[in-house]
Amino acid sequence: MDTLLNINTKEHDEKRQGEAFAPFVSDGNEYKKLFYIESYGCAMNFADSEVVASILHKNGFGATLQFENADLILVNTCSIREKAEATVRKRLTEFRKLKKANPGLIVGVLGCMAERLKEKFIEQEKLVDLVVGPDAYRSLPSLIEEAETGQKAVNVLLSRDETYADIAPVRLNSNGVNAFVSIMRGCNNMCSFCVVPFTRGRERSREAGSVIAECKSLFEDGYREVTLLGQNVDSYHWVGDESGGGYEEPVTFANLLEQVALISPLLRVRFSTSHPKDITDEVLFTMARYDNICNYIHLPVQSGSSRILQLMNRTYTREWYVARVNRIREILPDAGLSTDMITGFCTETEEDHQQSLSLMEYCKYDLAYMYFYSQRPGTLAARRFEDDVPEEVKKRRLQEMVELHRRNTLLSMQRDVGKTFKVLIEGFSKKTPEELQGRNDQNKVVVFPKENFKKGEYVSVKITACTAGTLIGTAVI
Ligand code: SAM
Ligand code: SF4
Ligand code: F3S
């Protein structure tokens, strides 16, 4: 099966939520049982599902895209907003019903919601047989055995050092061109609205050599783009030790980026997410030095008001953020820039909201993921502040923000008409097999007539027209 995925490194890509996965190619093995996995949330969760698939394959489970055929159904979940959890609950209720016809079926919940709700899933909600947190996937085979004998199978222990560095992910539903590579896990930032530090635990970096080896092997297998993933990639830090081997100096994110870029000029490198407080000039200069490191930075700001940023515990001000954006434009004048925004955070006034809008107007983002604030139990904001902006106000502000952003993205697309970009071909366009689709350096989708070009090739495309989300052009020699 060769489905084209518009690979997006964010959990906001509604199109990918709940995507079911099976390996791109059959590996020729005979499997005693079949598993079905559905993933929600951010790219890190999708990458984790590939680690889970690898662990299950080694233990005799093959993947299926039809949950009706599965002996084991897994849902890899997200807790970031209330709506994300509601979607998963609904899905688990549907899967639960299948057990009536097939009592041997095991239904398991993985990921952030498993970590947040723990035994409650089995004891109170009675929705699943298996609950496994993000750092406990190695124990899946034994937990499945326990669940098969009707025991309560739960492991939600968080780890300080688990990175699954030695596990070669099984690429699921891949287009064979783009792949995610996790370089770290967890998060040490305590943004007051965010549940991630509680569901993913302490930040830890993955051994640099294993990241480079995975990227090399992907390149050798024909992949042409890797996206290095972490909640805060700029704080990547690997210090070699006896087991981690051979580094004289600590490896920073800029060093790692460079090492991956050096694998081949034909391998594109992207990364996500950058925290405004941590992104260094060294990273920007490394990006400028290597053509194959894509000129695109996802730099979530969350709010344009310094007062709100302080309540959010983002540890920078509006002025600091603007200075970082100016520096990016200075060192990488053509860089694509995107952000995340939250409207209606606790105590947000109309004036704070206007500041968010004016910041968006200043930064002219190419892409923005915008949400209204959703209080998450246990977070600093839930404990300290009242969720006092009425829902209709949160939503109205979000709507205003979305409209402003739409106008800006259209202008950004229109500015590209007449330019020529190097495009990495990812597959057929969504509309017709007569057209191919890929992305340029700045992460914009480009569609052009197929001619004799193939997936995985680079082609120069001259842009002749655009829509709000797509550049349209023709290949030039
Ligand atoms: N680590 C990244 C960062 O620092 O920007 C982002 C992590 S989070 C998975 C993705 C986005 O979800 C955040 O940037 C934020 O905009 C949004 N988000 C997180 N918690 C939220 C909440 N409680 N309500 C609404 N949006 C939230
Ligand atoms: Fe959440 Fe902040 Fe960590 Fe991002 S940096 S994952 S928003 S706590
Ligand atoms: Fe990702 Fe959602 Fe967890 S965004 S880290 S899957 S809470």
pLDDT at position 5 is 27
pLDDT at position 313 is 98
Q: Is residue 195 in contact with ligand 3, taking CB distance under 6 Å?
A: yes
pLDDT at position 155 is 97
* Single pTM value for the model: 0.94
Q: Is residue 42 in contact with ligand 1, taking CB distance under 6 Å?
A: yes
Q: Is residue 275 in contact with ligand 1, taking CB distance under 6 Å?
A: yes
Name the helix (H) or strand (E) containing 38: strand 33-39
CA–centroid distance, residue 400 to ligand 3 (Å): 26
Question: For 57-112, how does the pLDDT look when each residue is reduced to its tens digit (9 = 90+)?
Answer: 999 999 999 999 999 999 999 999 999 999 999 999 999 999 888 989 999 999 99
Fold of 10-155: Rossmann fold (3.40.50)
Q: Which homologous superfamily is 420-476 in?
A: Nucleic acid-binding proteins (2.40.50.140)
CA–centroid distance, residue 136 to ligand 3 (Å): 16
Q: Which long-range contacts (CB under 8 A, 24 or more apart) does 281-288 make?
A: 281/327, 281/331, 282/252, 282/254, 283/234, 283/253, 283/254, 283/257, 284/327, 284/328, 284/331, 284/332, 285/254, 285/331, 286/254, 286/257, 286/258, 286/261, 287/257, 287/331, 287/332, 287/335, 288/331, 288/332
Question: For 9-52, how does the pLDDT look when each residue is reduced to its tens digit (9 = 90+)?
Answer: 344 455 567 666 655 334 566 788 999 999 999 999 999 999 99
Pick the CATH number of 178-414 from 3.40.50.300, 3.20.20.210, 1.10.10.2160, 3.80.30.20: 3.80.30.20
pLDDT at position 244 is 53
Q: Is residue 276 in contact with ligand 1, taking CB distance under 6 Å?
A: no
Q: Which parts of the chain register pLDDT below 70?
A: 1-16, 18-29, 241-246
pLDDT at position 2 is 26
Percent of the chain as helix, strand, coil, to the nearest 5: 35, 25, 40
Q: Is residue 401 in contact with ligand 1, taking CB distance under 6 Å?
A: no
Q: Which atom of ligand 3 is nearest to the CA of 79?
A: 7
pLDDT at position 13 is 57
For the chain, the structural domain boundaries read 10-155, 178-414, 420-476
